[in-house]
Amino acid sequence: MLVLASAMPTLAESKVDRGKYLVENVGVCGECHTPRQADGQPDRAKWLKGATLNVQPIEPIKGWHKTSPDITPGSRLFLKWGEKGMIKFLETGLNPANGRPADPPMPQYHMTAEDAEAVMEYLKTLK
C-alpha cells in the first residue's frame, strides 16, 4: 500500500497545479502511462495516453499487466469509471467497478480526498 503525504496547498497554488505536481513528481504517473521516444524520454505529445511497460518481473506475478491504460479525459477508462470513480480509485486504491485492488504493477494509492480531486482537476486539463 502506498500512502501519499498531503501538504496544504498555498493560496497561490491552484488545484490543477497541485494535481500536476502530484502526477508528475509524487506518483510519477508518466513513468508507466506515457510511451517513450527512441531516446527513452517520455513522449510529451502522448502524455498519460497509456503505454507498453518497459519493466517486467523476473518471476511471473499473477495479474501483471504489460501495458498501462490511457488516463486522460475521453479515454475508455475515464469514460467507464467517470470522474467520481477515478477519484474513488485514487482515494482507496480499489477499482470502483469491482472493488478489487489494481493489478500489478500499479501501486495501491490512498490519497486524501483533496489530493485525489486535485489530480482529477489536472487530468481534466489534458487532451
Q: How far apart are CA 61 and CA 4, in angstroms?
A: 25
Closest to 106 in 3D by CA, of 77, 83, 79, 80: 77
Query: Are residues 120 and 83 in contact, defined by beta-carbon separation less than 8 angstroms?
Result: yes
Q: Cell numbers at residue 102, please?
A: 489494481
Q: State the pLDDT at residue 110.
A: 96
Pairing, β 51-52 against β 67-68: antiparallel
Element (H, E) at 84: helix 76-92
- Domain chopping of the chain, boundaries: 13-123
What pLDDT, in 10s, does the model give residues 22-46?
Answer: 999 999 999 999 999 999 999 999 9
Element (H, E) at 116: helix 113-123
Name the DSSP class of 79. H
Closest to 77 in 3D by CA, of 89, 65, 60: 89
Residue length, the chain?
A: 127
| Average model confidence (pLDDT) across the chain | 91
Q: What is the CATH number of domain 13-123?
A: 1.10.760
| pLDDT above 70 as % of the chain | 91
| Whether pLDDT at 7 is above 70 | no
Q: State the pLDDT at residue 54.
A: 85
| pLDDT above 90 as % of the chain | 86
Widest CA span in the chain: 47
Q: Which residues pair with 97 in a beta bridge?
A: none
